[in-house]
Amino acid sequence: MASRHPQGSMLEKLYKETGIPLAKDFGVTYPEYFTNPAAEYNAQVAYAGVIDLTHWAILRVTGADRTTFLNAMLTNDVSVLETDEGCHTLITTTKGKIVAELYVFARADDMIVFVSQGDAEGARKVLEKHIIMEDVKIEDVSNDFGLLAIEGPKAYDCLWRMFPTGPFPKDNLHAVTRQFEHIDFYVMKNTVTGDEGYHLMIPAADLERMRTYLLQAARGSDGLAVGRIAWNMRRIENGLPWYGFDFTDANFPNESRFEDTVSYSKGCFLGQETLARLKYRGHVNRLLVGLAVEDENWSNVADTLTSEFTKWINNYDEIGLSKGAGLVATALDLRETYPPESQLFLPEGDSKSVGRITSAVYSPALERPLLLGYVHHNHATPGGRLVLRGPKTEYRVRITDLPTTAEDFSNTP
């Protein structure tokens, strides 16, 4: 039976036994790649990618008052959820700062809370602390279930191979229970890459076996298992922030691309007063934006990397888990070239910083480096130019809309 490592994958033992390289970022241990990050990215964008989400914490909330209780705790309106509907939400401090990112699904007899990012233990303690007279029970079932995602344009077709009795939800954050090999699964339409996707809540005892079946279904559509490097590239292209990189407990939802997680019309919740004041009477000082590198210092390298990227996609079987795959990972994850916290300045030469970067990858969609970073709200307009001062040189960057495509970028003046 798969068991949970604190803030790590339930499949970590399997990965170590099969030689999958692991890395730890901000307390979360995750597989870097399974074959080759370039091939995995291509599979994710063109076909289907299987992503390990077993590090997510899972809480089961029961009791007659579960809906009204969670609605008073969380930023979004869970009171409107019908059975097998979900919502994207946060738990914040009383000051409105982010504690954790959550997905909540209402079921007939309970509500399932997935803690996808942030302080899972802190989120659980905040909820338990506020149970006074309510008929509410919170049970941590993180060791009983694990989550696997299949995302990409052929994700739906892959699920049909496993569950031919379908259908599956077409609307985002809707769910259905299905059975395979006499095992019940909770299948939710959701995404961690920004692409079409489904998440499967699987009993821990069956996790390794069902991962094998899911990979077989994905490979039937030219899909692959996707590691952190490829996932990171795609989520940045689609503007999805990662905890520790792009937001922490020092950030407000309003500044960190979590606009869809807050309901300002439902009434009181933890942090509501501060967040409402920011929205209606003021503004946040900074915004998380996309930043595309357009400097000539990068252009020659970009041409070479774009050419090599195609070769890496076509030759991933030969590269496998060899040194070559590590070289691909180094080329695509650009944190060393553009270190987090590198400062952004106006091109006029002003000595005062107007922002900082948080994440950096090579973007196949743009064929150039793509960064995420916080920029002062006065200068955060798409199309605006800034100067990034790196450790060895300066780069010209342009603020870009997210999600982003090559066409969007070329059409931005």
Supply the pLDDT for residue 294: 87
Average pLDDT over residues 380-390: 93
Asked if the structure places residue 328 within a domain, the reply is yes
In tens, the pLDDT along 190-248 reads: 999 999 999 999 999 999 999 999 999 999 999 999 999 999 999 999 999 999 999 99
Supply the pLDDT for residue 7: 63
Task: Please check the confidence at residue 304 and state whether its pLDDT lies above 50.
Answer: yes
Are 217 and 207 in the same domain?
Answer: yes
Distance CA 144, CA 388 (A): 46
Cis geometry, peptide bond prior to residue 403 (ω within 30 degrees of 0): yes
Supply the pLDDT for residue 312: 62
Are 104 and 226 in the same domain?
Answer: no
Asked if the structure places residue 335 within a domain, the reply is yes
In tens, the pLDDT along 79-138 reads: 999 999 999 999 999 999 999 999 999 999 999 999 999 999 999 999 999 999 999 999
Are 322 and 365 in the same domain?
Answer: yes
80 φψ region: left (φ > 0), alpha (ψ -120 to 50), beta (else):
alpha
Residue type at 131 in one-letter notation: I
More confident residue, 393 or 50: 50
Asked if the structure places residue 250 within a domain, the reply is no
Q: Please count the structural domains in the chain.
A: 3
Would you place residue 301 in the very low, low, confident or very high pLDDT band (cuts 50, 70, 90)?
low
Are 220 and 309 in the same domain?
Answer: no
In tens, the pLDDT along 324-356 reads: 455 566 667 888 888 999 999 999 877 899 999
Asked if the structure places residue 222 within a domain, the reply is yes
Asked if the structure places residue 272 within a domain, the reply is no
Distance CA 75, CA 21 (A): 37
Would you place residue 321 in the very low, low, confident or very high pLDDT band (cuts 50, 70, 90)?
very low
Q: Which domain holds residue 206?
A: 12-56+143-237
Are 168 and 97 in the same domain?
Answer: no
Supply the pLDDT for residue 3: 38
Asked if the structure places residue 243 within a domain, the reply is no
Q: Select from 196, 214, 237 the last residue of a domain.
A: 237
Would you place residue 318 in the very low, low, confident or very high pLDDT band (cuts 50, 70, 90)?
very low
CATH number at residue 147: 3.30.1360.120
Distance CA 55, CA 202 (A): 13
Distance CA 1, CA 394 (A): 51
Q: Select from 204, 237, 270 the last residue of a domain.
A: 237
Are 210 and 172 in the same domain?
Answer: yes
CATH number at residue 300: 2.40.30.110
Closest CA to 248 of 377, 97, 124, 73: 97
- Residue 288, CA atoms < 13 Å, CB-side half-sphere: 25
- Cα–chain center distance at 67: 26
Task: Please check the confidence at residue 251 and state whether its pLDDT lies above 60.
Answer: yes
CATH number at residue 100: 3.30.70.1400
Asked if the structure places residue 6 within a domain, the reply is no
Q: Select from 213, 237, 261 the last residue of a domain.
A: 237
Supply the pLDDT for residue 146: 97
Are 154 and 223 in the same domain?
Answer: yes
Average pLDDT over residues 354-373: 93
Are 301 and 401 in the same domain?
Answer: yes
Are 402 and 352 in the same domain?
Answer: yes
Task: Please check the confidence at residue 317 and state whether its pLDDT lies above 80.
Answer: no
**Are the C-beta atoms of residues 49 and 230 closer than 8 Å to each other?**
yes
Distance CA 411, CA 413 (A): 6
Are 376 and 292 in the same domain?
Answer: yes
Residue type at 113 in one-letter notation: V
Asked if the structure places residue 255 within a domain, the reply is no
Region of poorest pLDDT, from 112-121, 244-253, 276-285: 276-285
Structure-derived torsion over alpha carbons of residues 406, 170, 262, 408, reported in degrees to the nearest 10: 10
Are 148 and 160 in the same domain?
Answer: yes
Are 172 and 193 in the same domain?
Answer: yes
Supply the pLDDT for residue 95: 96
